[in-house]
């Protein structure tokens, strides 16, 4: 396990919920976490924050646009147990095949201020899963997120960078 990214996270200042509005492109931060590289392999684009009460925590690339996936339909315990297998081509193909069944137009998270690792900062509280993504502002304009979930020994770290407007998938006309 690499602890340097988490130590860096702990040095960063909080970010206000209002600063997160919009579409953000995500990427994992390698730490040796079981989820390292898995979301990217499955086509994860990032997150979309419409306002404090309408957050799309899982936005994926699909066809010629983006779609939101309902997190509650993703079996978190199973995902954590088989995470290394999710980085394979067969897993990516299988996810592409079932993704239409998981797609939603409805937001499935809310932005709130949460105390995590001693700092109060903006966070996504997921509606359907015991997950909270807590954000800190990095000095390069990006946001470092820590996914804290029941059943995970340590947080999964990811980075968000503000995205230019991307064309939504026809199944998600909420943009």
158: three-class secondary structure by DSSP: strand
Residue 43: exposed, middle, or buried by beta-carbon count in 10 A (0-12, 13-18, 19+)?
A: middle
pTM: 0.89
- On average, the pLDDT of the chain sits at 91
**Could you give the CA distance from residue 88 to residue 77 in angstroms, rounded to a whole number?**
19
Q: Where are the domains of the chain?
A: 4-162
- Strand pairing category for 44-51 and 103-104: unpaired
**Which tens digit of pLDDT belongs to each residue from 143-156?**
999 999 988 889 99
pLDDT beyond 90 at 83: no
Q: Are 118 and 45 in contact (CB under 8 A)?
A: no
CATH, domain range 4-162? 2.40.128.580
Residue 171 is predicted with a pLDDT of 47
* Gyration radius from the chain CA atoms: 15
């Amino acid at each position: 396990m690499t602890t340097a990214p988490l130590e860096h996270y702990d040095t960063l200042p909080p970010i206000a919920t209002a600063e997160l509005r919009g579409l953000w492109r995500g990427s994992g931060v390698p730490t040796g976490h079981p989820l390292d590289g898995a979301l990217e392999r499955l086509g994860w684009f990032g997150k979309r924050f419409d306002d404090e009460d309408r957050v799309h925590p899982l936005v994926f690339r699909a066809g010629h646009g983006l779609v939101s996936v309902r997190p509650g339909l993703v079996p978190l315990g199973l995902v954590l147990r088989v995470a290394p297998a999710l980085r394979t081509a067969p897993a990516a193909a299988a996810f592409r095949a079932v993704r239409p069944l998981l797609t939603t137009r409805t937001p499935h998270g809310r932005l709130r201020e949460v105390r995590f690792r001693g700092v109060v900062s903006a966070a996504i509280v997921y509606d359907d899963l015991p997950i909270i993504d807590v954000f800190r502002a990095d000095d390069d304009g990006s946001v470092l997120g820590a996914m804290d979930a029941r059943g995970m020994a340590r947080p999964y770290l990811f980075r968000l960078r503000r995205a230019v407007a991307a064309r939504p998938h026809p199944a998600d006309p909420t943009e």
